Amino acid sequence: MSRVVRILRAGRMSYAKSLRLQRLVAASHLGTLILTEHPPVYTIGIRTNVYPEYEERRLKALGAEYHRTNRGGLVTFHGPGQLIAYPILDLKNFVPSVRWYVQSLEEVVIKMCLIYGVKAERCKDTGVWCGNDKICAIGVHASRYKTSHGLALNCDSDLSWFSHIVPCGLPGRGVTSLTRQLDHPITVDEVTPTFLKCFAQVFVCELKEMDKEDVNELLRASNEEIKTDEKINNKKSE
């Protein structure tokens, strides 16, 4: 197996910081799988051309952050209890097809759910579904076959956050989690090893932990960029 993908365990971080981290990884460590969790945040994809400002204010008033992004898809929620995976890959080293890539991400989650005894499947709408309910949202960006963004798998998420939106712009569809499907709590930490095993199988790659020094340097650089942006924004508001 010649393809190696590095695992970067970022811990819990803000969505804004994760965007900086993805950009830094793409510039210096292409071929990396970022694993993280986010504090409560609603994100809007490029398919949402107009999302009223009053809706943004309403969602922020719930105690969540709000971000417009360049990923595919519509509005969704990220928060504690979700396994967030951002593969930063060059698809030319795999299969140069975004459609193949999205279907492969779906296949990773379907295989993983099956191991836990949960029947999950794909349908005409992107993501992974348990019947009428989405268990994993997928929204990716690819430029010249280099990927960013990724997937959010509900493990033991507080699903009530989704009640304030139409998840992924699909009225009449619901959301679920591994915890709800299994009727007992199952955490991100419990799920992660199985997820990684399935990722390696589907993408036919060897997963290796990123060197700790590289991880720390990337996280430090992400923090510095956030601080710089905050200083610029503060000056603009003065």
Q: Show which residues are catalytic.
A: 168
Among residues 174, 164, 146, 176, the alpha carbon closest in space to that of 70 is found at: 146
By the 8 A CB rule, do 43 and 152 touch?
no
Residue 72, Cα to own-chain centre: how many angstroms? 12
Phi, psi of 125, rounded to the nearest 5 degrees:
-90, 135
3-state secondary structure string across 169-194: HCCCCEECCHHHHHCCCCCHHHHHHH
Helix 188-203 crosses helix 98-115 at what angle (to 10 degrees)? 130
For residue 90, count other CB atoms closer than 10 A to its CB: 15
Residue numbering of the annotated binding site for substrate: 71-78, 137-139, 150-152
Single-letter amino acid code for the residue at 156: D
For residues 109 and 151, what is the distance between their CA atoms, to the nearest angstrom? 9
